C-alpha cells in the first residue's frame, strides 16, 4: 500500500505533518494487515516500513518538471526491487530515486536508467528507531 500524504490523511482521518506522525501512520497501515506500506511525500521522499523496520528516504532537491507518474514509477521500482530480492532499504532507496528522477524528467515520461543510477547515491535513508514509533 502506498498512498501519498493527502490520501493517507484522508484514510486515517488525521493530519500527518511530522516524520513521527508519518511513521505512526505507516505503522497503522501495517496494522490494517499490510506486510509493507509507504507514504509518499512528493519532493520530501517517502516513509516506508514493514513490521520490523521503518525508514525515511529523502531525495536531493531536483527541479521537478512534472509529478505525473512519479508515484507510479516509485511503486513500480519498489515492486521490481522486491521481486529481484533486494533488501528492504535498498528497495526503498531505488523507489525514492525512481520517483525523484521521474519528477525531474518532465511530462509523462518515466526516468531512464542512467538518471535513476545517478540519483541512487544521493538518496538519504534514515532508519527510525522502533522505540520512537508506537
> Is pLDDT of 49 > 50?
yes
Q: Which of 120, 119, 1 is nearest to 64 (CA)?
A: 119
> Is pLDDT of 124 > 70?
yes
> Is pLDDT of 134 > 60?
no
- 68 vs 129, higher pLDDT: 68
The pLDDT assigned to 108 comes to: 76
- 134 vs 123, higher pLDDT: 123
CATH fold of 5-132: 3.40.1190
The pLDDT assigned to 109 comes to: 79
Q: Which of 86, 2, 14 is nearest to 46 (CA)?
A: 2
The domain locations on the chain are 5-132
The pLDDT assigned to 106 comes to: 74
* pLDDT tens for each residue of 59-79: 999 887 777 788 899 999 999
Least confident range from 22-26, 40-44, 64-68, 127-131: namely 127-131
Interacting residues of 87 by C-beta distance below 8 A, sequence separation 6+:
none
The pLDDT assigned to 131 comes to: 47
pTM: 0.90
Max Cα–Cα distance, the chain, nearest Å: 42
Question: Taking a C-beta distance cutoff of 8 angstroms, is the pair 110, 77 a contact?
Answer: no
Bridge partners (DSSP) of residue 39 are 47
Confidence category of residue 1, pLDDT binned at 50, 70, 90: confident
Amino acid at each position: 500500500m502506498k498512498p501519498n500524504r493527502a490520501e493517507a490523511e484522508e484514510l486515517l482521518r488525521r493530519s500527518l505533518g511530522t516524520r513521527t506522525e508519518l511513521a505512526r501512520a505507516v505503522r497503522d497501515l501495517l496494522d490494517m494487515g499490510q506486510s509493507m506500506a509507504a507514504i509518499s511525500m512528493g519532493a520530501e521522499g517517502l516513509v516506508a516500513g514493514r513490521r520490523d523496520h521503518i525508514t525515511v528516504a529523502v531525495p536531493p532537491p531536483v527541479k521537478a518538471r512534472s509529478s505525473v507518474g512519479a508515484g507510479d514509477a516509485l511503486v513500480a521500482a519498489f515492486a521490481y526491487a522486491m521481486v529481484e530480492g533486494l533488501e528492504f532499504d535498498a528497495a526503498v532507496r531505488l523507489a525514492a530515486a525512481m520517483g525523484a528522477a521521474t519528477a525531474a524528467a518532465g511530462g509523462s515520461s518515466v526516468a531512464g536508467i542512467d538518471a535513476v543510477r545517478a540519483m541512487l547515491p544521493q538518496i538519504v535513508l534514515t532508519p527510525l528507531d522502533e522505540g520512537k514509533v508506537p
